[in-house]
Amino acid sequence: MAEAHPVGFQWVMEAKRRGAKVFHVDPRFTRTSALADSYLPIRAGTDIALLGGVIRYILNNELDFREYVVAYTNAATIVTDEFVDTEDMHGLFSGFNDDNATYDQASWRYEGHSQTQTTRDSETQRETAAGLENESHGAPVGGQTERDETLQDPRCVYQILKRHFSRYTPEMVERVCGIPQEKFLGLAQAWTENSGRDRTGMLVYSVGWTQHSVGVQYIRTGAIIQLLLGNMGRPGGGVMALRGHASIQGSTDIPTLFNLLPGYLPMPHHANHPTLDKWVDSIAHPGQKGFWGNARTYGVNLLKAYWGDAATADNDYCYGYLPRMTGDHGTYQQVLDMIDGKIKGYFLLGQNPAVGSAHGRAQRLGMANLDWLVVRDLFEIESATFWKNAPEIETGEIMTGECRTEVFFLPAASHVEKEGTFTQTQRLLQWREKAVEPPGDARSELWFFYHLGRIVRERLASSTRPRDRALLDLNWNYPTHGPYAEPSAEAVLYEINGYDVATGRPLSSFTEMKDDGSTAGGCWIYTGVYADGVNQAARRKPGAEQSLVAPEWGWAWPANRRILYNRASADPDGNPWSERKRYVWWDAEKSEWTGYDVPDFEKTKPPSYRPAKDASGVAGIAGDDPFILQGDGKGWLYAPTGVLDGPMPTHYEPVESPVRNPLYRQQANPTRKVYTHPINTLNPSPPEPHSQVFPYVFTVSRLTEHHTAGGMSRTVRTLAELQPEMFVEVSPELAVERGLTHLGWAHLVTARAAIEAKVLVTDRLTPLRVDGRIIHQVWLPYHFGFEGLVTGDSANDLFGISLDPNVLIQESKVGTCDVRPGRRPRGLQLQELVVDYRRRSGDLNPHYPPQVTTDSADGGPDQEV
Amino acid sequence: MPHANALYGPLDPAPDAGYENAPPRMGFFTDTSVCIGCKACEVACKEWNGVPESGLDLLGMSYDNTGALTANSWRHVAFVEQPRRAGLATPAFEQNPDGPAISPATAALGALTSVDTGTNPGLPTGSPGAAARMSAGPQPEFLGMPGAQPPGRGTGVEERTDFRWLMMSDVCKHCTHAACLDVCPTGSLFRTEFGSVVVQEDICNGCGYCISACPYGVIDQRKDDGRAWKCTLCYDRLGAGMTPACAQACPTESIQYGPLEELRERAATRVATLRGRGVPEARLYGDDPNDGVGGDGAFFLLLDEPEVYGLPPDPVVTTRDLPAMWKRAGLAALAMTAATVFAFVGGRR
Amino acid sequence: MTDRPPNEPAGARFREFQDRVDQAVGQRQHGRGRGHDGEQLTVPVADFTSYYGRPVLKPPVWKHDIAGYLFTGGLAAGGALIGAGAQLTGRPGLRQVGRWTALGGVTASAYLLVHDLGRPARFHHMLRVAKLTSPMSVGTWILTAFGPAAGVAAIAELAPRLPEHGLLGFVRRLAPTVGDVAGLASAVTAPALATYTGVLLSDTAVPAWHEAYPFMPFVFGGSALAAAAGVGLIAAPTAQTAPLRRLAVVASTIKYLGGRRMERMGLVGEPYRQGRSGRLVRAGDVLLGVGTVAALFSRRSRVLSALSGAALVASSVATRFGVFEAGMASARDPKYTVVPQRERRDRREGRSPAEKGT
């Protein structure tokens, strides 16, 4: 955290000043470890084993916050007897379908629920990264469940969880992660001791945690711990993602994703959502509890915001204009399609895939096969110059003379040169004023897209073709100002907030939204950010002048709520769990919810309220159901549906690992997204032969001195000089084994590429004893590329493409490689080197580790050659 | 009427320099025990003061690619990797299958690198032996360690278990008795009303005297313009009631700015706290008004010997001895005259 | 104890890199490259530390101009004194040589000083202030006083070449008097000019210079007189050089005694004994001895006088460059900064050396 988020780390230091103990788990000893009380070196890609160990520690010692767990989680819920756990199936859950390597989730469902809760089969869900839709609401399940609040029933979630994690013993944690047992127990003890009635603990992770073939399950494991310890919906609790950029949260709320619309409304699928009704029903799930019952309202308001007067009840509010998904349109699928010539044009905004995305060579070859490419960035980045400077020029794979891509490089305004909002991990919107005019031709994204749209619409003005209606009917009039006709960002915020169509009055809450077209709103969860015509995100009242919740600093969605599900900060009867942790509670006299924060609950619904048997939507939420966006109003220790790789997290090895999974026969995530394409070949892993050709684990992350792909730091003198060269960190033991010297050169080889780097031999890396073997890990920064003041080979070139099935995020934090002393060969010799490695690791055909390995013998030292 | 301690001893420099009702003396307290080595101070300083580039070479001195305070780096973050215990922290690599520490050997290599900082003398190379001891400490048992075993087979003795990573943001000390200022023949270096020491770039003629005079090796000369440059404690910002750029940028309050008296009290408490928490090696450096330079305007909390961070263990302002020097010069002058007289007058034949 | 970094890792390659390191130490610290126990010879006990072994101080940025100036300044001062002595004892030939030496020396000095500045065009900024705490400022004013006087005195020697009558004739008659006054004026400031340079170097953080402050003015003063005497022995008519021989003896004695004390300063005296600087200093002493002895026996031999004079001049040059280099060396090697300061501190705090580097 000190490395990638130094500014946020100040609060960790503040806590330490007040006596907090800091634990740091990381493959390498970083600037964070230097300030931590306990450092736990871990093998990259084994976090679920570690956290699973913590879950077992909690359950076996009954350290869970029992009252909270029984009342607020689905621990007591009974699961159908069709469910079979990984324990009995070598690491697979029941319902696995070998043909398309997906789960039929039916057998995971709650007792007494009907077969299909979803309108889409698992494969389509994987293709469309459906998991993302659950970012703001649980997957669909019915409201009524069977419960055993004694938690004794062998089929209740609590018992299932206990059985599932029973093998995640401290010994196993040591065997899988390489973390000594005492250290692990120290961590588990501190975590549990700091949770309960009087204390809460917060889990803060950085997004590197997500970039695994089991990324979603990493977070799930953390969430389960936080639920068991009663750390959700309470002050000082929660699961926080430290985003990699200023407004990543914002870019999923109002998404830059292919499968989502603003407010986590799913992008319609051509087959499953032919009509508006089918679309909204697929979100609302009639019969389900929770606020998603109003999905139609949110959908209609969005359409109304898009197409204004043209959107009427008769034409389903122009639902027909919405683009449709036909399958996977994720960034990696697109890259492969570019290589295959299926995509002709591409926009890159503030992104540098030539350096920043996995399998850099595929990225560059893809872009080199486009007709046109628009790059908007602060500096001329690698993705704008690959056609003349890419490493592939040297190998002859890209020839400047013949590269057909026409690149349009447009200078962009930086965040201080334009106004707008940042949305951070707490869902807090903070308004930025423009500090200076952008230099030269640099312009804001807002300016670019507004005028692009304006010009396109002018060109098509006379068109009579139906396909152009969607564009021409757009509600595309924003006030502009200044010499360059900069659109007003506040006007956009106003549209996002939503307004009464007749009067133009800004809405103050999404509860004011109507599904009859009388209101319009661009993003229902943001409604209220412009309440009373005031830019609430621009509020800057100092913390000293207001309560500890500081509700008047910026604005948080939804409804300026700083802690989600904060109903859970009170006990089932509505009283605070403890004075120390008092936050939101039920005021019996006034008979309403009150507290420091905006209650995340219907203000006047008493704790005693119980829904009628057939109640659904908001009415279906009982007075003690804090998780109001979950189908059953409970926090999920067990996901009966919606998580494509299993109802509970399970440790699978990374797709590329030198180690046979010590926990199960199943080696890697069986449902991971695999791209079979000639350019995407993977290193063999156990139980396959030849995995020893790539004996070392490599992981990449950030240096404080640089930012992601380096487009904003390698180009800036004062930053570039602080970390001026690409390097690789190796342990002294590996240095001896491979003959590497401090400040000498080394090159790393995978089945995709070979890159070179200066060597830093350092005690900060250590070999680990894993499953009786010594495992070496090396670390690389992924900031370097071939443009800028300081240049170097790109670490991301080493990775292949394997994705998590739920959200299609790539596994770009761990892989296997070989390390050799000296510089890498150049030109054709470089390709020969990689080819030679591929030959030695099997054959030259593209290689993909088997999805299912439950037939091969168990893990253990005997497996490895 | 010059102060009795004008050249040496405790003194409040601003009034001594003739400021009437000067503001309280301002300074830095740099607490290295909370430094996370983010280098925000280096960047903020360069941005605010328009300090030029200081070289683009990898130095292999852990994460330090700046190397030293120079005319082109007014803040410098030092990084020291040591196979040694850090306070009460659990040993970082306990029970990991590792061999002996490499830090001393890599430090030795780090001593031999350099980079063109665009300044004179810039960043001279160093002594590998001293570098190795910086990391390992002088304890003999660290010396002449036999070759490592294959990983995992090493005996307990040879395995590294303890490890700590020291980080420290160095800066001009703004001494109470500033040799650079005393010896400046043009009056380019002057004492501000805040007690800090600043170079007036429109006066400096690059005589270089201040560079040899500084007991901390702070001030340095730019090759291209020949003048001497160093930290100004952001004199321009202070004048506007602002905090110096580095302290403003420091996320962990490792760099604290304020009235020196207040900072000294804060520092004393901090040391006590740390020692109470089992960090006996915590010590203050440059806080004592009775030390060789009359106390530093920028002082530090260190976790190891000063020289490990590149600081002199017991600096003394050279002008302390100036009166004695002039006396000796006078005597020598008399001796010359006497010699001449004797030569011409004495023993005529 | 060897200088081989502790915890040397296994593996032939690390041994190789270790050897490269050690050789580097050898070459850096002893031109003759004594292999990897180089430091052992220079530091028997002090296992000093510094940040990546780098200098704690910034070595002076002064170029050899300054070493040269130390010589020319001293020469000028010596010349002025000799000129005055000769003037008062009626040795016109010697007087002339002395005055010309003074002017030549001070002119060269002015050039060297300005040339060494980072911003030569701003040399006049030196005249903005007069600071007793800045030997360089004091020196500037000394030069400002000495220079013109020495100039006038020397130019006055040209008077005989002027016409006998007219305005110039008047000047010609006036010149000797003016010259004598100026000559005496320059002689009055001369000792200061020759000795303040000792303070100039000592008033720095450079260990070998600062610690030598009690002796350096004597070394410089003596060396200055010896050099000027040398010039006299070369250029002045043998008949008039008797005082120079006496002067040479006294001057070299002063210089030699001062020098001895400097070399015996213990660790910080090391650079005066060892390495390039040490060799220069030694050369200075030898030449001084030879020159002085030769001078004593050169009453009748013009050639021997000239040779002895040359030796004395050379000795002064060697000494100045030696002292200059010694300071550089002591600033470049952190040992000379760290070890004495540690010992001083440990003595003060009553710490036993064993506690070092805890």
User: Which percentage of chain A shows pLDDT scores above 70?
Assistant: 97
- State the pLDDT confidence band at B28, using cuts at 50, 70 and 90: very high
Which of residues 134 through 153 in chain C touch B, CB cutoff 8 A? Answer: 134-137, 140
Question: Considering only CB atoms, which chain B residues are within 8 Å of C342?
Answer: 307, 313-314
B180 touches chain C (CB under 8 A): no
pLDDT (tens digit per residue) in B50-98: 999 999 999 999 999 999 999 999 999 999 999 988 887 889 998 899 9
Is the per-residue pLDDT at C341 higher than 70?
yes
Question: What percentage of chain B has pLDDT greater than the value 90?
Answer: 84
Per-residue model confidence (pLDDT) at position B207: 96
The percentage of chain B sitting over the pLDDT mark of 70, rounded to a whole number, equals 93
Q: Say whether pLDDT at B347 is over 70.
A: no
Note the pLDDT of residue A234.
97
Q: Taking 90 as the threshold, does the pLDDT of residue C166 lie above it?
A: no
User: Does any CB of chain B come closer than 8 Å to the CB of residue A107?
Assistant: no
Answer yes or no: is pLDDT of A311 > 60: yes
From A120-134, A187-201, A588-602, A836-850, the region with the lowest mean pLDDT: A120-134
| Mean of pLDDT over chain A | 93
pLDDT digits (tens, 9 = 90+) for A526-538: 999 999 999 999 9
**CB-based contact B56 A183, cutoff 8 Å:** no
Distance (Å, whole) CA A9 – CA B36? 9
**Partner residue opposite A2 with nearest CB, options B38, B62, B101:** B38
The pLDDT > 70 percentage for chain C reads 85
The pLDDT value given to residue C3: 39
Q: How far apart are the first and last CA of chain A?
A: 37
B272-315 confidence digits (pLDDT tens): 999 999 999 999 999 999 999 999 999 999 999 999 999 999 99
Mean pLDDT of C320-333: 97
Hey, what are A613's tokens? Answer: 């048997």
Question: What would the mean pLDDT of A443-452 be, rounded to a whole number?
Answer: 97
Q: Say what the pLDDT of residue C7 is.
A: 36
Nearest to A718 among B47, B165, B251 (CB): B47
- Give the pLDDT of residue A127: 86
Residue B311 buriedness (CB in 10 A; 0-12 / 13-18 / 19+): buried
Under the banding of pLDDT at 50, 70 and 90, the label for residue C46 is low
* Chain C residues near residue B78 by CB distance under 8 angstroms: 51
- The H or E element that residue A176 is part of is helix A170-177
| ipTM of this complex | 0.91
| B120 vs A862, higher pLDDT | B120
The span from the CA of A64 to the CA of A230, in Å, is 8
Cα dihedral sign, A218-A220-A226-A231: positive
pLDDT value at A115 more than 70: no
What is the model's pLDDT at position A495?
97
Indicate the domain borders of chain C. Answer: 85-192, 204-337
The distance in angstroms from the start CA to the end CA of chain B is 54
B23 touches chain A (CB under 8 A): no
* Phi-psi domain of B18 (left: phi exceeds 0; alpha: psi -120 through 50; beta: other): left
- In chain B, what's the furthest Cα-to-Cα distance? 91
**Cβ burial, residue C151 (10 Å; 0-12/13-18/19+):** middle
Q: What is the pLDDT at residue B2?
A: 60
pLDDT digits (tens, 9 = 90+) for A170-207: 999 999 999 999 999 999 999 999 999 999 998 988 88
Mind listing the pLDDT tens digit for each residue in A333-360?
Answer: 999 999 999 999 999 998 999 999 999 9
Instruction: Kindly report, residue by residue over A393-432, the tens digit of the pLDDT.
Output: 999 999 999 999 999 999 999 999 999 999 998 999 999 9
Give the residue on B whose Cα is nearest the Cα of A3.
Answer: B38
Per-residue pLDDT reduced to its tens digit, A788-828: 999 999 999 999 999 999 999 999 999 999 999 999 999 99
Q: Is the pLDDT of residue C30 over 80?
A: no
H or E segment and range at residue B322: helix B322-344
Least confident of A242-251, A403-412, A691-700, B201-210: A242-251
Selected for mutation to probe chain B from C1, C7, C21, C215 (highest B CB count within 10 Å) is: C7
pLDDT of residue A118: 53
A497-533 tens-digit pLDDT: 999 999 999 999 999 999 999 999 999 999 999 999 9
pLDDT for A430 equals 97
Q: Is a pLDDT exceeding 80 seen at residue A437?
A: yes
B298-302 and B26-31 strand pairing: parallel
* Lowest pLDDT segment from A522-536, A756-770, C132-146, C155-169: C155-169
CB pairs under 8 A between B and C: 385
Identify the pLDDT of residue A132: 78
Query: Does the pLDDT at position A135 exceed 90?
Result: no
Q: CA dist A178 to A29, A667, A737, A762, B127, Å? A: 15, 18, 20, 19, 38
pLDDT of residue C164: 87
Range C327-346 burial, b when 16+ CB lie within 10 A, else e: bbbbbbbbbbbbbbbbbebb
User: Closest approach of chain B CAs to the CA of A620, in angstroms?
Assistant: 47
- Region B32-42: mean pLDDT is 97
* Arithmetic mean of pLDDT, A382-397: 96
pLDDT at A2: 86
Position A204 scores a pLDDT of 87
Residue A110 has pLDDT above 60, yes or no: yes
Query: Which phi and psi (to 5°) does residue A367 adopt?
Result: -65, -30
Out of A705, A762, A768, the one facing B96 most closely (by C-beta) is A768
Compute the nearest-CA separation of C17 from chain A (Å): 8
Q: Which pLDDT band holds residue A843 (cuts at 50, 70, 90)?
A: confident
CA quadruple A710, B47, A437, A446: dihedral sign: positive
Q: What's the pLDDT score for residue B141?
A: 37
Q: What is the pLDDT of residues A549-603, one digit of tens each?
A: 999 999 999 999 999 999 999 999 999 999 999 999 999 999 999 999 999 999 9
Sign of CA dihedral A560, A566, A572, A573: negative
Q: How confident is the model at residue A93 (pLDDT cuts 50, 70, 90)?
A: very high
Residue A860 confidence (pLDDT): 45
Bridge partner residues of A587 (DSSP)? A592
Q: What is the C-alpha to C-alpha distance for residues A237 and A229, in angstroms, rounded to an integer?
A: 10
Q: Looking at the predicted structure, is the pLDDT value of residue C13 above 70?
A: no
Cα separations in angstroms, A727 against A696, A784, C206: 17, 9, 38
Contact A34 B109 (CB under 8 A): no
Q: What is the mean pLDDT of chain C?
A: 87
pLDDT, tens digit, for every residue of B93-103?
988 999 999 99
Within 30-69 of B, beta carbons closer than 8 Å to A belong to 34, 36-40, 42-43, 46-47, 53-58, 60, 62-63, 65-66
Window C:111-130, CB contacts with B under 8 Å: 116-120, 122-123, 125-126, 128-129
